[in-house]
A and B are shown apart, each in its own frame.
Chain A
């Protein structure tokens, strides 16, 4: 079992997302995260799926994805050098007592405070999943009010390009 990050180019059509997610549930494949948004060509979406499975299962996953009529291209990014990023918004308690500490912690992780109220901060942090986990760990757990993570997006390094 290993972790794979799979990139998919697919037609930006109603129902395409449910075909992909339906495939994963129907065939009992794992999904750790799934992100999707249109590309620079609005008729096409780019999806990133993080999954775990044996080599055989991941081979089946890519083949089954390719079989979907709306899927244009599939690449297992983890087969070669690639970059992964995830974004997190985290709202923490930040009253007069905690403010300074929170700000310092955010700086250490190169996170940004993007919203402030009397007693809260909303912090934005981008990085790979482990970095986001580490930030959460580093905080006083009782100070965390809300977290929202996008799931990973990935791209190949250098000349490794996924397009039609």
Chain B
């Protein structure tokens, strides 16, 4: 590196130089006392651009989604104390979905640590359970090396957020700057290549399957494995399903795709998952929203092959027969080589026939002739109008599930949602990150009137940075998902799930300098969407008044097995 002998940089200069060395384009942040020296250095250069959010939660989400839609490491910068605590929700969101991200936090001066100083919180302690790793830098000499490690840890192995806590005095002290080119850590050496013996066993099982199923998760997206996944699915001719986090990993319009599985998965995907004899799990983790009750899942005998970068994801909730630890694309390539050499797809015609019967239940049907706007209809139109090519972010609730079910994602990194933590308030800041990393791209934020109010202040950020996001607000005046559970499992007692005193979203959008539209008739849905997506330079807030009583089907009640679904027709 361009080490300049004798020339010393301050800690604050070093921080900015490190970001430049990492090729960071954008930092999402919010200033405060402990990071003023860093902000001063940001001011003096223009390689690293700063995006000023309106709340640190927004900074963390935006950095996270910058990463989700691009696989670059998102960076967020916040001050000590409340800056950190505000960011925690965003950090935990990224952690649950294994998103590579670096969070730089200011800290009170080293001499003040532990003395309950103004705006002091133990950032390393508070975030320990929701980061892949974190550091407190006590000496300016360690700063560059620590930041290098943070970027390295964030994006290797199973990715995740890494936090670097920097006391204010460290940003003022100086030392020579040298950015290390490599990182070597004896305690951290993620495996990439799958064990050849295990890969061979997997190939044999797959070729002998009669009722096979391929189940893919977020790991496919995170490791950029869509291409080898497509190859292997077609090579074998097997049915394929995906978790909420894996959508787009395999093209949704392909006949071999059975749709999403899990709590709100399709009938065919859940039935095939339960009844298969050989299951190939790829970058997925058998979580409770996916397989429901593990004891029920285990009732049907099947052989499970599980490919994952993280050994602790394997045999955590479900016992696996052939574990393969490794980088998903590498393992899939090895598997493809073996399978192609063997040649020939197993004949699974009877299984496809069975799947066809399950498909014929048409589990996602809804009333297309409704006089009230059906939320599913809005998503279908959104798909048509954007030709299936938008980046879609979402918040959390019914609207999220409808977006996942009805927007057919063809490509990876197009569907951006908080699947692990389920963070309301995620959608809008997420869309900001996505739009910044993909300027000119079509970005839609599918949200609900409750979720959008959780990070609403970011409408101001969108104005400042001219982010032409299209907000699709499915306004049912309820925390719809909560209301649905209360209807099904709490005797229709809608305790605190009605959203009273809603703002006039049109005026609200206008107040922030955007365009707002209210849509209350099915016939207006498509024209409103067409008009909005024509406006390339404007943020448009579309407030769709939708059916207040609509529910998400199918639904697997909590604690039940995945084949024990409630279907629309059952009610």
Contacts and interface: CB of A to CB of B under 8 A. Distances in A.
Interface of A: 10-11, 14-15, 18-19, 22, 26, 56, 59-60, 63-64, 66-67, 69-72, 164
Contact of B186 (A14, A15, A66, A72): A72
B334 to A, nearest CB: 23
A14 B188 CA distance: 17
Contacts of B421: none
B124 A15 contact: yes
B315 A15 contact: no
B128 interface: yes
Interface string B112-151: 0000000000001100110011001000000000000000
Given A15-B124, A63-B311, A22 B129 contact: yes
A70 B136 contact: no
Given A67-B158, A69-B185, 4 more contacts: A19-B128, A63-B311, A69-B133, A69-B187
A67 B310 contact: yes
Contacts of A71: 187
A69 B311 contact: no
Contacts of B132: 69
B117 to A, nearest CB: 19
29 contacts: A10-B187, A11-B187, A14-B136, A15-B124, A15-B136, A18-B125, A18-B128, A19-B128, A22-B128, A22-B129, A26-B129, A56-B315, A56-B319, A59-B315, A60-B312, A63-B311, A64-B312, A66-B311, A67-B158, A67-B312, A69-B132, A69-B153, A69-B185, A69-B187, A69-B188, A70-B187, A72-B186, A72-B187, A164-B186
Nearest to B135: A15
A144 to B, nearest CB: 37
A80 to B, nearest CB: 21
A70 to B, nearest CB: 6
A18 B125 CA distance: 9
Contacts of A15: 124, 128, 136
B16 to A, nearest CB: 25
B195 interface: no
Contacts of A63: 311-312
A6 B459 CA distance: 52
Interface string B294-327: 0000000000000000111001100100000000
A63 B285 CA distance: 14
B142 to A, nearest CB: 11
Interface in B2-21: none
B534 to A, nearest CB: 48
Considering residues A10, A18, A66, A69, which has the most beta carbons from chain B within 10 angstroms of its beta carbon?
A69
Nearest to A15: B124
B302 to A, nearest CB: 18
